């Protein structure tokens, strides 16, 4: 390989796809293109999940709640499962707990649209019961794909349930023992914190929640 070929190979490896020589040397970036493809892939995944009937929750749901927000965000929120309002509207965290979450984000000057919000399971368990292991098993690949496509720097797990599932921790692990800690997995950090629904009942958890959110926003480079 001569020097020019080596240089072109190097450019290609760092993400340049096409080099045009038109008077001046023009180099076309392809990173933006790649991100666009991932956004499209996320849309395609969403279409598929909206029709999913892989577990029994499909029988009782009104709407699948896929998740929403900025697909290029550095910060992703993962809750447990859609509640009543979420099931009716097909959107995550729009009930009382969700409004509290939105208020906390706004406290740091962050609009909800700048992050991505989803849940471990995408359909509401009847009467808000806990999702069962086989339901999580059926649904989890969708979440994994969402993480792969969004590539967040930080995942904030809302509540013990999300934290245990994402971090693969024993069933009884108390959230108070793990909240506020940064767990490094692959190329992202996972931070467990309280579920906003818990905060509605226990106002004293708000200080810790705010601290954990601030840590997540900092690692995500959003503060
Ligand atoms: N609780 C959750 O865990 N997720 C939602 O989307 C709403 C409430
Ligand atoms: Fe499919 Fe997940 Fe809904 Fe079950 S909870 S039907 S696996 S989308």
97 lines ligand 1 (CB under 6 A): yes
CA of 159 to the centre of ligand 2 (A): 20
Question: For residue 84, which ligand has an atom nearest its CA?
Answer: 1
Give the number of other Cβ atoms within 10 Å of residue 77's Cβ.
Answer: 28
Atom of ligand 1 nearest to the CA of 159: 3
CA of 187 to the centre of ligand 1 (A): 26
Pocket test for ligand 1, best of 63, 78, 83 (most atoms within 8 A of CB): 83
First CA to last CA across the chain, in angstroms? 46
79 lines ligand 1 (CB under 6 A): yes
Pocket of ligand 2 (CB under 6 A): 49, 52-55, 57-58, 64, 121-123, 135, 138-139
pLDDT of 35: 67
pLDDT of 8: 80
82 lines ligand 1 (CB under 6 A): yes
Nearest protein Cα to ligand 2, atom 3: 123
Question: For residue 85, which ligand has an atom nearest its CA?
Answer: 1
Burial class (CB in 10 A: 0-12, 13-18, 19+), 80: buried
Q: pTM here?
A: 0.86
Residue 121 to residue 125: CA distance in whole angstroms: 9
56: left (phi over 0), alpha (psi -120 to 50) or beta: alpha
Atom of ligand 2 nearest to the CA of 81: 5
Which residue reads 């929640």 in tokens? 209
E strands of the chain, at which residues?
Answer: 16-22, 24-29, 68-69, 75-79, 116-119, 154-158, 183-185, 188-193
Each residue's pLDDT tens digit in the chain (223 positions)? 788 888 887 887 776 766 655 554 555 555 566 767 899 999 999 999 999 999 999 999 999 999 999 999 999 999 999 999 999 999 999 999 999 999 999 999 999 999 999 999 999 999 999 999 999 999 999 999 999 999 999 999 999 999 999 999 999 999 999 999 999 999 999 999 999 999 999 999 999 999 999 999 999 999 9
**Closest by CA position to 86, among listed 96, 101, 76:** 96
Which residue reads 């809302």 in tokens? 158
**Closest by CA position to 154, among listed 187, 180, 178, 176:** 187
Residue 175 to residue 194: CA distance in whole angstroms: 7
67 lines ligand 1 (CB under 6 A): no
Give the number of other Cβ atoms within 10 Å of residue 184's Cβ.
Answer: 8
E strands of 105-145, at which residues?
Answer: 116-119
93 lines ligand 1 (CB under 6 A): yes
Give the domains, in start order, of the chain with CATH numbers.
Answer: 62-219 (3.40.470.10)
């Amino acid at each position: 390989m001569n020097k020019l070929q080596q240089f072109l190979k190097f450019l290609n490896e760092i993400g340049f796809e096409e080099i045009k020589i038109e008077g001046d040397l023009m180099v076309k970036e392809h990173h933006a293109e790649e991100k666009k493809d991932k956004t499209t892939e996320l849309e395609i995944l969403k279409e598929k999940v909206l029709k999913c009937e892989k577990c029994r929750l499909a029988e009782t749901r009104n709407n699948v709640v896929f998740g929403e927000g900025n697909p290029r965000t550095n910060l992703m929120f993962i809750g447990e499962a859609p509640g009543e309002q979420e099931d009716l509207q097909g959107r995550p965290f729009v009930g009382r707990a969700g409004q509290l979450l939105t208020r906390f984000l706004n406290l740091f000057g962050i609009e909800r649209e700048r992050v991505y919000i989803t849940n471990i399971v995408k359909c509401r368990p009847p009467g808000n019961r806990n999702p069962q292991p086989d339901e999580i098993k059926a649904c989890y690949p969708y979440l994994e794909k969402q993480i792969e496509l969004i590539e967040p720097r930080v995942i904030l797990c809302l509540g013990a349930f999300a934290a245990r599932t994402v971090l693969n921790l024993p069933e009884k692990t108390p959230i108070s023992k793990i909240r506020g800690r940064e767990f490094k997995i692959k190329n992202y950090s996972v931070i467990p914190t309280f579920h906003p629904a818990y905060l509605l009942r226990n106002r004293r958890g708000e200080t810790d929640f705010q601290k954990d959110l601030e840590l997540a926003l900092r690692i995500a480079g959003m503060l």
